[in-house]
Structure 1
Amino acid sequence: MGRHNSPDPYAPDAQSRPRARRRTIAIATVLVLGVATGTGVAARNGLLSFGGSCEEDAIRLDVVASPDMAPVLREEAEHARDQDVTSDGRCLDVRVQAQEAYKVADTLRDGGHPDFEVWVPDSDLWVDRASLGGNDVPLTAAGNIASSPVTMGMVPSAAESVGWPQKQYSWAELTAIATEDDKLRLGSADPARSATGLLALTKIGASAAQADKPGSDTQVAATAKVLAQRTSDSDAQALETVARDDSGTEQGNPRRNQALIVSEQAAFTHNASASEEGQLELFYPEDGAPQLDYPFTLVDEPQLSTDESRAALRFMTLLSEDKGRGILEKHGFRSGAGDPSDQLVAAAGGRAPQPFADATAEPPAPKEVQSTLGLWTITVQSARLTTVVDVSNSMGELVPSRGESRLEVTKASLIQALDQFTPEDEIGVWEFSTLLDGENDYKKLVPTQRLGDRAGKGSTQRERLTDAYSGLQPKPGYTGLYDTALAAYKDAQKTYVKGKFNALVILTDGANQDPGSITRSALVGELKRLTDPKRPVPLIAIAVGPDANKDEVKEIAAATGGSGHQIDDPAQMQEVILKAIIAAGGN
């Protein structure tokens, strides 16, 4: 599960990413679609002059938009200047900057203070992502100004080999073709940074589940692993990886992609400048193409003046007028006015009988998106987990349905869970009770290291963990949960490894029973103080058996951005741990 890499040496380097938060209030709905080319340096910097009647009293609006939409908004802003378009008698001075949506979302989520009044990302997924943080800047959805379906594009030779345009496929079938071997090389933008990639991967999961195929989760994970090897940091960089001729081996690079998860609009732009052999032909999956929906979003709307709010909405409505729709469609975006034009679809690489007009998919539920993002996170990032296991006396009690003790069943589940991790993942184990190691309620058994690491010519870390889990035995004593949780969390923060998915997993069968420990309220307060959004370590706490306190573990885990769970049978532990890790990864 190593970090993904772009397969194309010509692609720019990745940039670091921040995080974000949002509160959405829908106040209007305006549907319009289109694309527009850039308008030159003066327009990009908002330096075009007004006519004499507007020069002194224009309303300035700063707009940040996704790179594909920014040229459209610049062209519309230039048109508004040229025509002295007004809002309440004052001209519009709209200045547009392009920025990747994930960067804006993450900046807001990290508490960054915006210096713009309007944000137009390519998907409302980013507005949702902005809401996950602690920033109080409200984001007010005013409507969607364009849309573009997410499809799979292939260079002509690859498309012909799988029956384009007559042959129709579901998402599950398309990805199965593209991932069954390396003959058809499939690329994508990073789903953690690209709505195109994330929507497609979410739809692939839904498609596999809908097909009622056994092991659909496994298929999605396998797809994610394949994509992770051929992932670019942005949609624009992903397009740079497409083969420039039918061989895909030009310029000594045999790794160019023959297939790409791509929006219709991005394919439209690519095809306008690509050679005939390097153009994309689009498959529109028959079970629905998810949509990029370009929400026009007011930023910190309560702090905007009435003039600014009205001017922003006036500018948005321009995109629903004939001129605005023409700009959008010229750049490959769909408007909300009926079916897309045959000319637009053909230029993007679509052709009948591909279902380009009627196979749009319903937006995925936020829970589906979060789960997919979590799966992606733990697929492309190595995990770093410390498991902390309760070995207090009560863990020796029998599980009635199994005839084994709680600890025996727990050990078997932990050993089985190891099979889900790769040699690049790092895992360690502590045990805890009360006064287990001098004054400490806990004891470190195996430090957190790569499962593939070998101590000299001795055993691997995986083998050492298996031995340590197998050797766990109930100890005299009670459940020293609070002091152990705090010590383990401090250690996990101290040993945090950047670029990995760091988490702490605590397994216990009871509430805290150490009268000399820190109180629960003090523990929760200290965990909140220690939590660092730039070094996230979610705590996943699992309460096992009827005596465990579900509310207690939930409250403790929530303080770190993690989750608490209660299970009756320790045999459920493996499934719960993996699902909890995926959910934490999605956050």
Structure 2
Amino acid sequence: MGRHRGKYAEGPSDRSRRRRGRGGAVAALAAAMVIVVGLAVAGVYMFGQGDGCGGSDIELNVAVSPELAPALADVAGDFNAEEHTVDNRCVRASVTEADSADVAFQITGSGATTGDTDSHVWIPDSSVWPRMVQSQAGDAVITETGTSVARSPLVVAELAEFADDREGTTWTDVVPTAAPGEETDRVVRVVDPTRSSSGLATLYLLNGALEEASPDADTFNAHMTAALQALHRGASADEDSAFLALSGGNAEAPPLMVMSEQSVWRYNEAHADAAAQPSYLDDGTYFLDYPYIVRSEDSEITRAAEVFRASVRSDESAERLLDEGFRGPEGELDDGVLTEGAGFRAEEPSELPAPSEGSITELTRFWNQLKMDSRVLTIVDVSGSMLAEVPGTGLTRMQVAGAASAEGLQMFSDSSELGLWEFSTNVNNNLHYQEVAPIRELQATDDSGNEHRDVLGAALQGMQPLPEGDTALYETYLAAYQEMSRTYRPDRTNVILMLTDGDDDNPGGMELDELMSQLESMSSPSRPIPIITIAFGPDVRNLEPLQQIAAATGGAAYMTEDPTEIGDIFLQAFSLRIVSDDDE
């Protein structure tokens, strides 16, 4: 873990002293005495401002989240002009913008960074980042001072002209948690959670809300997967891209955007002609808290950082931050900046607990696993029983399964690779299976200029059952596993997805024991190829063989008598990607 020290902790007396201000000579003298006595007790000898500087300056490099830079650059300018000293040497604070993720990734080595991220003091937008550093780089010098420079709650922003009354709305109301193909309200966007506190906090908020609302783990996993997929489709690479999307500066309808309250104010400052309005959701929110972090153990630097921290906490600095759309550490705001007319609320929204280190790691893993492109071979049963009508629909099992599978395509990114087989008995000379479409990226085009996604969708809805065909299930499983093993892609999630309406029915064909033996000999933990089976219809009498096949490959088997439920089962199957081995 990173090293923690208590000497910087801010108590209630510090806060009340800051609120009272330091106007007048008596208050100034009292404040100076408090500083001198406190430092003397700690064994630190420092001269205050006004005595001049001797020797070379102590350079204090301060890296701050970009939105803080205007206010803190002014604070540093005044601080330097006042010639604050440590050991009779002037402290010169230099403020630079630094993306919070860049600094965290530079310390941990866990991601790409841009620009110079070294500093003596670090003020990220959220305590999420130093917690991540502490969990991933235990030897890093991360000294938490207990100071929150500013605060800003997460809200849902939308263009004012499209804004709805969201009284009584919760986080799960805003982000879709339904199976693909179902109607949703507006597109919801976040900034990429691997680089954004607001994006990561959105995942955390949803995770907590869905845990409370879900009756069981399977329902939670399915709904969380749907929410993650919805956010994936609307994720912005950075805040500039998010602002562009919110302004309607792209081809999509203006979305809902999860961002901080201060970001909404900052967006409105630059987009007066397309102003946004914040909504405060009823189930609470997470706050960006801008912690003051010291990254050095050098005695002079740590004392210089403490002197600058005192200036950052001054009433004058607080006013500068309020002028920039932030709230103060006690929730105070400037109602002339965050105005009621623009939709801001003077009352601070209820605050939810911050994510733990474990939650941060797990949610980032969830996001990255869904971010990894899939490579899926889908196999559809075209035996004669697929001609049976699904009660109450006027459609055959084949038609319902094809339509549900076509909707399932929406769950995959354009760069995912999908292929399609059909199977029964003797569909391809003496083979019981045949390729309908090769495994290719969904965005790839064929010789006629048709996108592979469209080719697959048309093929799924145009499949024709073989009236006399039986169900050579086991031979098809084996052939599919051999093909996916032969063409395995380590940079993708390699999956076999089987849709069937019956048990294995191929007299004289492969037995289950032989299939299991073959799968065991081919499978490898380092090259996982889970088999996921969705069995539907009243002809499926025994799910146990399918469960054995799933267990042997790290997959899953689902059964329903109603083929119209395939869309929901797709979502459950896809949620396997966010379930860790320990959860299974």
TM-score, length of structure 2 as denominator length: 0.57
Give the secondary-structure state (helix, strand or coil) at the position aligned to 1:261: strand
Higher relative contact order (CA closer than 8 Å, sequence separation 6+)? 1
Distance 1:74 1:225 in 2: 39
The residue aligned with 2:144 is 141
Question: Which stretch of the first structure deviates more once superposed, 290-299 or 225-234?
Answer: 225-234
SS of the residue corresponding to residue 154 of structure 1 reads strand
C-alpha deviation, 1:469, in angstroms? 7.4
SS at match of 2:105: helix
1:452-499 Cα offsets, whole Å, 9 max, x none, are 999999x98x99xx99975567xxxxxxxxxxxxxx9xx866xx4xxx
Q: Which residue of 2 aligns with 1:72?
A: 71
Which one of the candidate residues 198, 208, 216 is aligned to 2:210?
Answer: 208
- What are the Cα deviations for residues 246-276 of structure 1, in whole angstroms up to 9, with x where unaligned? xx57xxx54252421110111122223332x
Question: Which residue matches 2:190?
Answer: 188
Is the CA contact 2:528–2:553 (under 8 Å) kept in the aligned structure 1? no
Name the CA distance, whole Å, in 2 between partners of 1:173 and 1:91.
54
1:316 CA drift (Å)? 1.8
Q: Deviations over 1:495-514 (max 9, x none)?
A: x4xxxxx4689xxx99xx99
Superposed, which structure 2 residues align to 1:151-230 within 5 Å?
151-159=155-163, 162-163=164-165, 167-176=167-176, 184-212=186-214, 215-230=219-234
**Aligned equivalents of 2:529, 2:3: Cα separation in 1:** 31
Aligned residue in 1 for 2:263: 266
Are the counterparts in 1 of residues 54 and 89 from structure 2 also a CA contact under 8 Å? no
Q: Does 1:285 align with 2:272?
A: no
Provide the residue aligned with 2:4 in structure 1.
Answer: 25
Q: Structure 2 CA distance, aligned partners of 1:90 and 1:469?
A: 80
Alignment of 1:41-60 (within 5 A): 53-54=52-53, 56-60=55-59
Q: Aligned pair in 2 of structure 1 residues 231, 24: CA closer, same or farther (>3 Å)?
A: farther
CA deviation after TM superposition for structure 1 residue 30, in Å: 4.1
Q: d(CA) in 1 for partners of 2:254 and 2:366?
A: 23
Q: CA deviation at 1:582?
A: 2.8
**Per the alignment, in what secondary structure is the counterpart of residue 324 of structure 1?**
helix
1:324 aligned onto 2:304: no
1:382 aligned onto 2:373: yes
- Among 329, 351, 354, the alignment partner of 1:336 is 329
What SS does structure 2 have at the residue aligned with 1:116? coil
Counterpart position of 1:119 = 122
Q: Does the CA contact (< 8 Å) of 1:205 and 1:217 recur in 2?
A: no
Q: In structure 2, do the counterparts of structure 1 residues 233 and 455 end up closer, same or farther at CA, with 3 Å as the change threshold?
A: closer
The aligned amino acid for 1:267 is V
Following the alignment from structure 2 to structure 1, what is the Cα–Cα distance between the partners of residues 322 and 331?
Answer: 13
Separation in structure 2 between the aligned mates of residue 335 and residue 454 of structure 1, nearest angstrom: 54
Distance 1:150 1:87, change over 3 A: farther
Which among 357, 360, 365 is matched to residue 369 of structure 1?
360
- TM-superposed deviation, 1:570: 7.5
Indicate conservation of the 8 Å contact 2:418/2:441, yes or no: yes
Aligned partners of 2:86 and 2:304 also within 8 Å:
yes
- After superposition, the CA RMSD in angstroms is 5.4
Q: Specify the code of the residue in structure 2 equivalent to 1:65.
A: V
Pick closer, same or farther for the CA change 1:468–1:176 going to 2, 3 Å.
closer
Task: Give CA deviations for 1:399-426 in whole Å, capped at 9, x if unaligned.
Answer: xxxxxxxxxxxxxxxxx9xx89748645
Give the distance between the partners of 1:320 and 1:467, measured in 2 at CA: 73
Q: Which is worse superposed, 203-212 or 140-149?
A: 203-212
In the aligned structure 2, how far is the partner of 1:360 from the partner of 1:56? Answer: 48
The reply on whether 1:296 has 2:292 as its aligned counterpart is: yes
Counterpart amino acid of 1:331? E
Identity percentage of aligned residues: 21
How far has the Cα of 1:151 moved from its partner? 0.6
Q: After superposition, give the CA deviation of every residue in 1:220-246 in whole Å (9 maximum; x if it has no partner).
A: 433333333332222243123223xxx
Partner of 1:346: 339
Distance in 2, matches of 1:284 and 1:62, equals: 36
- Counterpart of 2:244? 240
Q: What one-letter code is carried by the residue in structure 2 that aligns with 1:68?
A: E
For 2:382, the equivalent position in structure 1 comes to none
Contact 1:235 1:262 in 2 (8 A): no
Displacement of 1:380: 3.8
- Quickly say closer, same or farther: Cα 1:84–1:371, change in 2 above 3 A: same
Where does structure 1 lack aligned partners over 5 or more consecutive residues? Answer: 1-21, 34-49, 387-415, 429-446, 474-487, 497-501, 515-523, 525-537, 543-566
Q: Is the 8 A contact 1:108 1:135 kept in 2?
A: no
Cα distance change, pair 257–381 in 1 and its aligned pair in 2 (3 A): farther
The answer to whether the 8 Å contact 2:177/2:224 transfers is no
Verify the 8 A CA contact 2:285 2:350 in the aligned structure 1: yes
Report deviation, 1:213.
7.1
User: Secondary structure at the residue paired with 1:231?
Assistant: coil
SS at match of 2:67: coil
Whole-Å separation in 1 of the counterparts to 2:78 and 2:255: 39
Give the secondary-structure state (helix, strand or coil) at the position aligned to 2:102: helix
**Structure 2 vs 1, CA of residues 450 and 541 (structure 1 numbering), >3 Å: closer, same or farther?**
closer
Distance 1:577 1:225, change over 3 A: closer
Measured at CA, do residues 208 and 319 of structure 1 come closer, stay the same or move farther in structure 2, by a change above 3 Å? same
Residue matched to 2:348: 357
Q: CA deviation at 1:139?
A: 2.2
Question: In the aligned structure 2, how far is the partner of 1:584 from the partner of 1:192?
Answer: 19
Do the aligned residues in 2 keep the contact of 1:186 with 1:230 (CA within 8 Å)?
A: yes
- Asked if 1 retains the 8 angstrom alpha-carbon contact of 2:192 and 2:237, the reply is yes
2:222 maps to amino acid = T
8 Å contact from structure 1 (residues 280, 348) kept in 2 = no
Q: Deviations over 1:367-400 (max 9, x none)?
A: 43333333332334413599xxxxxxxxxxxxxx
Contact 2:189 2:258 in 1 (8 A): yes
Q: Distance in 1 between matches of 2:341 and 2:194?
A: 25
Q: Say which SS state the counterpart of residue 232 (structure 1) adopts.
A: coil
Residue 311, structure 1, aligned to residue 308, structure 2? no
Distance 1:57 1:454 in 2: 66
Counterpart for residue 436 of structure 1: none
TM-score for the superposition, normalised by structure 1:
0.57
Instruction: State the 1:78 CA deviation.
Output: 0.8
Structure 1 residues 67 and 469, CA gap change in structure 2 (3 angstroms): farther
Instruction: Assess if the C-alpha contact under 8 Å between 1:271 and 1:349 holds in 2.
Output: no
CA deviation after TM superposition for structure 1 residue 283, in Å? 1.0
- The amino acid that maps onto 2:266 is T
User: Given the superposition, is the C-alpha separation of residues 374 and 273 from structure 1 closer, same or farther in structure 2, using an over 3 Å criterion?
Assistant: same
